[in-house]
Copies of this chain bind each other. A is one copy, B any other.
């Protein structure tokens, strides 16, 4: 199940920290590791999980591997969340609109 992989991937705090770093743009594995007190294999494994879930995608750049947010993963969560739109409080839509404006 796709959703299961996604939610499992995001259930880990370290993986969410990694993923949130990517919200600002693409980064390589070492850059993603910076600041986190975690071994190199651990980051690599976390990135594999995020990738398998469709949340990130990678691109070799010489001996670096650049990671970035995969819109497909975000889309899956959005689609899932949309089923509960009836329960969205007003403030969420307000926030959403605000961020939309900030994008410009």
Q: How many copies does the complex hold?
A: 2
A60 at the interface (CB under 8 A from B): no
Q: Is A36's beta carbon under 8 Å from chain B?
A: no
A4 to B9, CA, bound (A): 10
Residues of chain A having any CB pair with chain B under 8 Å: 1, 3-4, 7-8, 10-13, 16, 20, 23, 69, 71, 74-75, 77-79, 81-89, 91-92, 95-96, 99-100, 103
The distance in angstroms between the C-alpha atoms of A81 and B20, with both chains bound, is 10
Q: Knowing that A1-B13, A71-B87, A82-B96 are A-B contacts, what are 20 other residue pairs whose CB atoms are under 8 Å apart, sorted by A's residue number?
A: A3-B10, A3-B16, A4-B16, A8-B11, A10-B11, A23-B83, A23-B84, A71-B89, A74-B81, A74-B84, A74-B88, A77-B77, A78-B81, A78-B88, A78-B96, A81-B81, A82-B99, A85-B96, A85-B99, A85-B103
